[in-house]
Every structure is written in structure tokens, then in C-alpha cells.
Structure 1
Amino acid sequence: MSERGAHPTDTAEPPARGGRTDAATEAFLAHRNLLFTVAYEMLGSAADAEDVLQESWLRWAGVDLDTVLDRRAYLIRITTRQALKRLRTLGRRKESYVGPWLPEPLLTTPDVAEDVELADSVSMAMLLVLETLGPTERAVFVLREVFELDYDEIAEAVGKSPAAVRQIAHRARAHVAARRPREVVSPAETRDALEAFQQAVDTGELQRLLDILAPDVVLLTDGGGRKLAALEPVVGAGQVAQVLHRLAPAASLRPAQVNGHPALIIRIGGRLDTVMAVRVEGGLITGLYAVRNPEKLSYVQRETTVSR
């Protein structure tokens, strides 16, 4: 891909108003996927990433393009600064969040899954690891490790010296390496495990569920205080299987591509109820991420309503 990005399909484009603004619009749209993904990886929210892009566009539209030597770098700098502002606000909100907080699921196009590094960087598992970083560390890690910007560019974006950015990048890499899943799993392996999981839930056979779940599997459910969800992680194959077994009779499961990986969209009574992403290691499901908070499902709701 010429611009590595998560290719969101629900995009609000900046208006073109002739002359200089057309040039600004052209530059912004050329890098839009990249900018969206930078914001999304920093925030874990598609809705907030879209808001950041709108704010970034307003600032970009007021820039004298004749003074800009590298439009891509300038746009990344604007977007990063806007995302950092919003990230600090979101951090305060998360302190009072009810139950586990999960990233907002993002429907992604097949070519995102083909870019292994990009798919890994937007996965639920990785976004949860990034949540453990401070705002500046998160920005530096995303810009350096995912998008391979040089230290001088990152320093401009985060308002630090290049030397400080090198130190922050080193700390962030070590922090992430200690927490990210160790095993690299192919999309085919994940699909196979997910198909077995879906069949087990569809049939309601408890033993089939136990066969596909790792003994120490962890289920995180995000209801945000608005939908029924466990307020603590559910740990262990037996406990997780019991929760899923109760879900089976009413649920309709459909595979989808979410955050660069195979996942399931769960409907109950024809209505979108849950988006469930999985982490697979050794052919077994080791992590389940169930997003039920309606606010976090609005983006997927729009996309699936259009595509159905």
C-alpha cells in the first residue's frame, strides 16, 4: 500500500472550495488513511479518530501551503497533536469507566490483514497493550514502530527533542515487548480457530467450546455500564465456556474482518449486540474481547447496515 492505513469506509471528506483549498484538500485526502490510523491507534476509538481528523482538517485548511516543505510530515504532526489532546481527555474519562475498557471495534478491508505489521498494530490485543503506555509514549511508539517515522519528525509531532524521543521510544519498545503476544499467528490459523469456536457456540455443545479454549483463556466484556457485562475479566476455560454456553440459544454469529483480523459479529433478535475479537495461540483461543457498549458499536452498526 502506498499509504499504510486501516482504510475506514465511513469517511467524511473535507470540502473543496476552489484554488488553494483544492490543493489542501488533495494533500489531505492523499494521506487520509494514514492520518486516521495514527489517530485510531493512539485513541482506540474510530469515532474519536474521525473527530481528530475533522479538527486536523480545520487547522490544515488555514496553513499557507507555500511554507510547507513536507505535507505528509506536517499533516502527521497536526494529527498527532490533536490526538494527544484528546487522548489526555479520554484518559480522565476512562478512570470512571464501568468494567473493562476495550477499544472501539473497527471493520477493516482485506488488504489490511495482508499487511501483517499493520494488522498486528490495530489488533485488539495490541491496542490494549498500547493502553498501558502514557500518551506521549504511545504517540512515539505508533509513529516510530508502526509508521517508521524518523526521530526528528516524531520530535516535531510530540514537542520533544530528538534525543528525548529516542529514550521514550526505547522505553516504549521494551514495555510493549514485555506485554504483547509472543506467537505470530497466521490469519488462516485464526480463521480455523474462529470457525471451530462459531460452530461450538452455534450448536451449544459445551465440550466443543472447551476443546477450542485454552485452559487459561481470558474473556473481557465491555458493556460500559449500559449493557450487561462482567465487571471483571472471566478467566479459565470452564468459566468462559459457561458464559458463552448461556449466550448460544439466542445468538446469531457472522464472521467479519475486525481490526485486521477475523472476528465475529453477534446479533440477538436481529439486532447488533456484540462484536467479539479473539486472540489465538497454539491453535487455541487464549483471549476473547467482547464489545457490547452501544456507543462503541455505532460505527460497526452503520457499516453493517449499509452492507447487509
Structure 2
Amino acid sequence: MIHNRPQPSRRTVLGGAAATLAALTVTAGAGPASASDWPTAFPLPDGWLPEGIAIGARPYAYFGSRANGALYRVDLRTGAGTVLHPGATGRIAVGLKIDRDGLLYVAGNTGVARVHDARTGDVLRTFQLSEATGHFVNDVTLLGNRAWFTDSRAAQLYAVPRGRDGAVRTLPLTGDWVQLPDVNNANGVVPTPDGRGLIVVKSTPGELHNVDPRTGRTTRIALVGQDTVVNGDGLWRIGRTLYVVQNRLNLVSVWELDARATTATLRTTITDPRFDVPTTAARFGDRLYLVNARFTTPPTPETTYGAVAVPLA
């Protein structure tokens, strides 16, 4: 269900109509005749413990497992899925992003980031972002020649080189950023519309921040139409439209950013009876795909998990 507010909505779609049509092109015989016939619900393996989702230029969604860092790939045209990477004891996979070269960047929670081959699932590189205990490397986005990772338990971001060379850079957050103890702070992250900064959601108390990736200085984004984005988790941005997944509220709030990402105005909220603590989102065509983490359901090896698709607001 989509609850619309009376304000008019303006949205710039990245890539334009041509990119959307290209993304929806499917091979004859590979699935339904049109994207409107594609499934809108996707079962994951029992006991999977999902949290992150990534979708690239091709119609495949990737899901990480908090149980062992495994990766699962689903064909959006048919709903068919397969375990791409089996994971290993002690590994975790939360936030994910895929680039145009078929590299999958995975936040590993315990101070680790990994780069996988999205075709084979093989681990290509592993980065130790922090040697200290108690860190929660939570989400990731791509900006320029770096993959940027958030740390929910430390006031810093990590910049991982996207090429073969280069060292990990730790970026302390300053300015308006106030780190709170014993709760998750930084969570989802996306580039600003002008590509010069990063937007980070602070789950507690529910703020959006514009981060300068050169200096770490943050400016709190003023919210209009709603006081907070409490329980903010994954972010997705299309032009100046920002989608904020508010996990335990079972909704996605949709915001219009100004040109410099200093103000965000609430345009609408998306809810759906199939939401069961959605955590992160990714877009393909005219749909937003969300994974249900089911945090309020006690996990067992038999607990069922899945993802759903909803129309873009």
C-alpha cells in the first residue's frame, strides 16, 4: 500500500528512460514476456538470516547471510535462486553493493569488508577495516574509485580502493555528528545527487547527514514533513529522491532532496502487508526490492525468509 501526501512529487530518474528500457530487456525464453509479469515475492533459504540486497544492471538480486556470510542470487524474472557462495564459520554478510564490472562489495560486520566475483561468488579480496573489537561494519556504497563502508559503533567511515592498488582509509566523522553509546549509529549510505558527498542515515535518533568524503565533516540534513527517520536502515537514491527504509516501522519514507542535499522534504511513505522488518532496498526498473530481516521473529534453522518488490513511489 502506498500512502500519498498532498505535496507534488518531483523525481529525476538516474540514467533516463533509455537506461530503464535497457535494464528491462530480457532474453527470449528466459522468463515472463514483460517486467510487469515478473514475481514480486522471493523466498530465501530457511534460516538464511538476510539483511542486505544488491542489484546491478542485470536482473539478478544478491542477498547476504548474517549466519555465515553466504551469498544467494535470485533471478528477478523467474524468482529462481541459487547459493552463489557457501560462506564460512565466523563470517557475516550485511550491506552489499555491485558495480558494473561484476564485483560485489560486502560489509562483514566484524570489522571486515570483502570483494566477491558476482558471477562465481569467489572471494577476491578481504580488507580488515578495524583491528579493534566492538565494531559493526554495516553498509556500503560506491563513489568514484572507492567503496565507502559505514561503522554503526564508531564515528568513522572506511574507504576501500576499488582497484588493485591502494590502502584502506579511515575517515573520522566530525561537525554535526554526535556518536551515541551502545546503539547503532551510522547505517545506510548513498552518494549525494551531485556526487561530491555521502548521505548517511543515523538510525538512532533518526537523522540524515551529508558527509564530506575529503574531510569527514558532516552536516545534519534538515527534515521537512517528519521529525526523524528513526530506525533508518538501508538507503536508495534516484536523482534527488531518497528512499529511507525504516526497518522496525515496516515502511519506506520517500524524501525529496534539495540541490545541495541540505534539506529533505517528505513526499510519501510506502507500506506493504508483506513487510516484516525490511532492512535494505535496491532498485530495478520501476520497482524497489526489499529484503525482510524479520528481526522480531526468533531465528531458527527452519525460520523462513524472503524479499518483496513494490512499485517506486
Could you say whether these structures have the same fold, taking a TM-score greater than 0.5 normalized by the shorter chain as the test?
no
Higher relative contact order (CA 8 A, sep 6+): 1
Which protein is richer in strand relative to its size?
2
Which protein is richer in helix relative to its size?
1
Higher-Rg structure is 1
